[in-house]
Structure 1
Amino acid sequence: MNSEFVSSVGHLKVNHVTRCRSSSCVRCSKVCGFILLLIFIVGSYMLSSERKTLLFPPYLLEEDLSEDALRDAVRNIATKVKFEARRVPDVSESIGLEKHMFSVIPQHFLPNVKNPCWFEELRGNVSEDPYRSNLFGRSRQIQLIFERLSGSFRQRLRRHDGKLQRLRCLPYFYIIGQPKCGTTDLYERLKLHPDVRLTPPKEPHWWTRKRYGIIISGERPHTRFPLDHYLDLFDPVAIQIQQSLLGNSSSGIITGEASASTMWDNNAWLYFHDNSTWAEPPSLVLDSIHALQPDARFIAILRDPVERLYSDYLYFGTVNKSALDFHQKVCESLRMFDGCLRDAGLRACVYNGTLNNAMTVRLQVGLYVVFLLDWLSVFSRDQLLVLRLEDHASNLTLSMSRIFRFLRLAPLSDQRQRQISRRPASNTRHASDRNLGPMQTITRELLTLFYAPFNQKLAEVLRDESFTWDGRSEHA
């Protein structure tokens, strides 16, 4: 019902804005604004019934869509941007929230294996198919993998101190974001390295969504995916590592996953904590990962957030896509974000799931520095490799070499390096989307203004002016 509400509101707003632009919009704004106000009052309560305040205050619905008014609104947002340090929870707090996880996964992993792996005591009937009920197996591709794994399961068990054990593994590294920034291309190229094993799905979205029972972003939780189901995804690499151990040799094989939601998506916290609308999350996904894997390594590939947002709209949009429709959605979302900042701090708005689900384009995903600062509040700078898609695409050989060094992988032959670099790009824009043309000039101007203070802070944190995406570094 909640998703139907958001859809119906979005449909009403688009139709309203399409009929009424610029000066003509003033004539119908009062009636439509009143209707929208009533809808948002009811809808905010429906989307967040436990909260005592509304997400969308009445002043948000004032309909002045002139270019000057929109520029003023974006400049107003910039005056409220303050990068304040978060309260970092103790590791004990994170463990308390995930007691089962920390009872299953040990504090220390096997010493002669590069990838984080351990032997887990097997309980229950070993003759049963351990993958039969795995919720990831709903995908036919994953189901076929599980069917092959189940055939050799009993042969993979080892007996130690009279108990049966199976080898379990976590990812050595995570590609944590961002969407529409080249994560698929990076994932496919990494698979070509002989010491890297990446199994489908590319994006389990377990840390951010499925462990809470969220299957599709924006929907309410349903059945949670257990930790064991996530660990099953890495059994193919566990088999190869175990074979190395049986041969009395150390293993340099590593595995990883590439859920582009890991860096930024913390929307699920709203469903599991009693809080006010304007609160910040008491803990983030990164806190759980840090408590579990303090030595993990992370790759974030970023892109000019203005271009990222348009690409995101074209890829995930369904019907009536156009430069005009994108402009209208950007204006609506900017006004919503501005409205939130009138009552709450920056981090509270960035992590406000109700706001994020209501905005018709994902503005918050491009606020890279907010997420990066939070990751750096628990992980060291040398554990996080931050790349620009523009640099990656322009010099694949240099970019992949940098990534391989970061992952501490062995050097490659020239032939293998050429094979990886010359692989065709993955997940490029569809021809039908390219035919829609570029975004409107005013849309680009508004988004550039909006993202500018965040990009500048990002460049300061990374000590690299190219992350301002202002063109100066590229032409230097």
Structure 2
Amino acid sequence: MTEMDYKYTLLSSDSEDCQKRPFLFHVDNNNQMNLFAVLEVRRDNYRRWGGLPCFRKAKVYSIGLGLTVMSLVMASYILTGEKKGLLITPSPYQYSTVNNSGLLNSHVTDLSFLFNLSSVRDYTNMKLVVKTITSNIEFSTRQLPDLKDLVKYEQHMFSIIPSTFLPNVKNPCWYEEYTGNITADPYGTNLYALYSKRFRTVFDYLRNAFREHLYRQGNKYYRFRCLPYFYIIGQPKCGTTDLYDRLRLHPDVRFTTFKEPHWWTRKRFGEASASTLWDNNAWVYFYENATAEGEPPFLIQDFIHAVQPNAKFIIMLRDPVERLYSDYLYFGIANKSADDFHEKVSESLQLFESCILEYSMKSCVYNTTLNNAMPVRLQVGLYIVYILDWLTVFDRNQMLVLRLEDHATNRKYTMHKVFDFLSLGPLTEQKEAEITKSPASNTRRQADKNLGPMLPATREILKDFYTPFNARLAQEFKNDSFLWEKKSKFM
């Protein structure tokens, strides 16, 4: 089955029809009345009441009053985010979990369950969903692509990055001839420069410094180009920003202009994009789906390894249950609450279950349509799935895996592990104190803290979901701390 086939299986036309169709309320056992049926006024009724203008006016007034009350009630539900009562259009992302036939387009018929996901009443049902998911977990080894296939699909990248680099330089660096007009704006066509005021400020600096970094030899100009010596590749809401800010203070470290250029994952053109470990969502737009199971034919690490086989990677992880809630609070826009988070978790688990009943676990983890449909990013916390795929091309000694919980309680210890891993030079006591004792970066906003923790039922469901993945992670690295059995004090 192709990715396009799978896309339309997951988001079927039945779902779209359900979304377009207004909800029908049952008036009695035999008849249905459309919610907006009150707006349908037949002409023969007007003729029947033609001799009684007072009654006609009363009828009009009563209809207007009814509509006003109805509007106020609906507005109240919408503004408060309450979804337990009135919903005009059912969500297209609701699927059956009890007696699931395995079809991705099967819908829930029990409407009382459909519209009450935000309470703990669905606790038992969600436990069954998680049990179904975990019983279908299978860790498989991926087939590595040939280098010639990588070159075929990324000819431009392989044409501008040389196969050999300058000696005696820690980074992979080379000189590239600059054939452009040195008096013209080198970033005139770069859309990043128009992204925001902060980006415009950065590009103003780059523009002014550009000519100073050109090397002239004879009548030619050359640019000194480098790839990163190391990457901070994951995960979001696991402390990568704090690690990045502290590493920037080390005199031996230079980062890119932007912390997260997402060059490998989304643009292709030492970065610290916390999406590099897991984000392969763009593969369906770049490449043909060459596998019957719907798994990506190429992954990010295949291209990095092809040009940088000796690169180093730092991975920051965190209890995936807490990571998901932090991710929800950080990226959520409005109506955030523990109840809303519970509902979104329930919807996402149902979607994941529907996928894993038909396809391999890995194809579901990498499925772009599924990832975009889930209200919360469940897949990002499946750390071991991504790490095992990275270990198919890179050695384990090229990766440093840290836990946010350890970093939060003992920054000096984790930073020294990073310094040793990157073979950085020694620090003065003053500089070390500046790096290790500065306040934490990118912490939870006060408004989000005021929302309190997630519901106990939500936590228990997510713990059951992530436990087998955490167990495999702990086994791989022979470290039981990756089980996250003790509740973290870090929020």
Short-chain TM bin: 0.7 to 0.9
* Residue matched to 2:398: 383
Measured at CA, do residues 291 and 442 of structure 1 come closer, stay the same or move farther in structure 2, by a change above 3 Å?
same
Match of 1:147 among 191, 204, 229: 204
Distance 1:323 1:71 in 2: 18
Tell me, yes or no, if the aligned pair for 2:103 and 2:358 is still in contact at 8 Å. no
After TM superposition, give the deviation of residue 169 of structure 1 in Å: 1.4
2:274 aligned with 1:260, yes or no? yes
> CA deviation digits over 1:22-42, x for unaligned, max 9?
xxxxxx99x97xx556x889x
Tell me, yes or no, if the aligned pair for 1:278 and 1:349 is still in contact at 8 Å. no
2:401 aligned with 1:345, yes or no? no
> CA deviation digits over 1:278-303, x for unaligned, max 9?
50010011111111111111111000
Tell me, yes or no, if the aligned pair for 1:309 and 1:361 is still in contact at 8 Å. yes
Tell me, yes or no, if the aligned pair for 1:121 and 1:165 is still in contact at 8 Å. yes
> CA deviation digits over 1:322-363, x for unaligned, max 9?
000000100010010000001100110000011001100000
Match of 1:316 among 331, 342, 358: 331
Distance 1:317 1:150 in 2: 35
Distance 2:354 2:108 in 1: 6
Distance 1:76 1:410 in 2: 51
Distance 1:97 1:190 in 2: 34
1:191 aligned partner, one-letter code? R
Distance 2:397 2:128 in 1: 39
Stretch deviating more after TM superposition (338-347 or 115-124) = 115-124
- Name the count of aligned residue pairs: 403
After TM superposition, give the deviation of residue 146 of structure 1 in Å: 2.9
* Residue matched to 2:260: 203
> CA deviation digits over 1:419-442, x for unaligned, max 9?
111110000001111111111111
1:158 aligned partner, one-letter code? Y
Q: Partner of 2:313: helix, strand, or coil?
A: strand
* Residue matched to 1:169: 226
Measured at CA, do residues 40 and 392 of structure 1 come closer, stay the same or move farther in structure 2, by a change above 3 Å?
closer
* Residue matched to 2:479: 464
Tell me, yes or no, if the aligned pair for 1:278 and 1:352 is still in contact at 8 Å. no
2:169 aligned with 1:121, yes or no? no
Match of 2:104 among 26, 48, 56: 56
2:424 aligned with 1:409, yes or no? yes
Tell me, yes or no, if the aligned pair for 1:178 and 1:261 is still in contact at 8 Å. yes
Measured at CA, do residues 70 and 18 of structure 1 come closer, stay the same or move farther in structure 2, by a change above 3 Å?
farther
Tell me, yes or no, if the aligned pair for 2:94 and 2:350 is still in contact at 8 Å. no
* Residue matched to 2:309: 294
Distance 1:420 1:107 in 2: 36
Tell me, yes or no, if the aligned pair for 2:153 and 2:287 is still in contact at 8 Å. no
* Residue matched to 1:103: 159
| 1:138-287 pair list within 5 angstroms | 138=194, 139-160=196-217, 163-211=220-268, 227=269, 256-275=270-289, 279-287=294-302
Stretch deviating more after TM superposition (320-329 or 263-272) = 263-272
User: Aligned-pair RMSD on alpha carbons?
Assistant: 3.1
Tell me, yes or no, if the aligned pair for 1:267 and 1:352 is still in contact at 8 Å. yes
Measured at CA, do residues 350 and 209 of structure 1 come closer, stay the same or move farther in structure 2, by a change above 3 Å?
same
Q: Partner of 1:58: helix, strand, or coil?
A: coil
* Residue matched to 1:76: 132
Distance 2:300 2:103 in 1: 23
* Residue matched to 1:20: 84
Distance 1:265 1:300 in 2: 14
Tell me, yes or no, if the aligned pair for 1:178 and 1:263 is still in contact at 8 Å. yes
After TM superposition, give the deviation of residue 387 of structure 1 in Å: 0.3
Measured at CA, do residues 350 and 55 of structure 1 come closer, stay the same or move farther in structure 2, by a change above 3 Å?
farther
Tell me, yes or no, if the aligned pair for 2:351 and 2:370 is still in contact at 8 Å. yes
After TM superposition, give the deviation of residue 151 of structure 1 in Å: 3.2
Tell me, yes or no, if the aligned pair for 1:36 and 1:61 is still in contact at 8 Å. no
* Residue matched to 2:26: none
After TM superposition, give the deviation of residue 174 of structure 1 in Å: 0.9
* Residue matched to 1:86: 142
Tell me, yes or no, if the aligned pair for 1:202 and 1:259 is still in contact at 8 Å. yes
After TM superposition, give the deviation of residue 473 of structure 1 in Å: 11
Distance 2:203 2:356 in 1: 47
Tell me, yes or no, if the aligned pair for 2:405 and 2:488 is still in contact at 8 Å. no
Q: Partner of 2:376: helix, strand, or coil?
A: coil
Tell me, yes or no, if the aligned pair for 1:110 and 1:117 is still in contact at 8 Å. yes
Distance 1:162 1:402 in 2: 47
Tell me, yes or no, if the aligned pair for 1:17 and 1:328 is still in contact at 8 Å. no
1:58 aligned partner, one-letter code? S
Measured at CA, do residues 200 and 127 of structure 1 come closer, stay the same or move farther in structure 2, by a change above 3 Å?
closer
2:461 aligned with 1:446, yes or no? yes
Tell me, yes or no, if the aligned pair for 1:55 and 1:355 is still in contact at 8 Å. no
Distance 2:455 2:109 in 1: 23
Tell me, yes or no, if the aligned pair for 1:301 and 1:386 is still in contact at 8 Å. yes
TM superposition score normalised by structure 1: 0.78
Tell me, yes or no, if the aligned pair for 1:184 and 1:427 is still in contact at 8 Å. yes
Distance 1:286 1:358 in 2: 25
Structure 1: unaligned runs, 5 residues or longer: 22-27, 42-53, 212-226, 228-255
Distance 2:165 2:315 in 1: 25
After TM superposition, give the deviation of residue 161 of structure 1 in Å: 6.7
Tell me, yes or no, if the aligned pair for 1:466 and 1:473 is still in contact at 8 Å. no
Distance 2:474 2:94 in 1: 37
After TM superposition, give the deviation of residue 97 of structure 1 in Å: 1.4
Rg larger for: 2
Distance 1:101 1:166 in 2: 17
Stretch deviating more after TM superposition (284-293 or 340-349) = 284-293
* Residue matched to 2:377: 362
Q: Partner of 1:168: helix, strand, or coil?
A: strand
After TM superposition, give the deviation of residue 306 of structure 1 in Å: 0.2
Distance 2:380 2:410 in 1: 25
* Residue matched to 2:34: none
* Residue matched to 2:3: none
Q: Partner of 1:188: helix, strand, or coil?
A: helix
Match of 2:439 among 424, 429, 432: 424
Tell me, yes or no, if the aligned pair for 2:94 and 2:107 is still in contact at 8 Å. no
After TM superposition, give the deviation of residue 172 of structure 1 in Å: 1.1
Tell me, yes or no, if the aligned pair for 2:384 and 2:472 is still in contact at 8 Å. yes
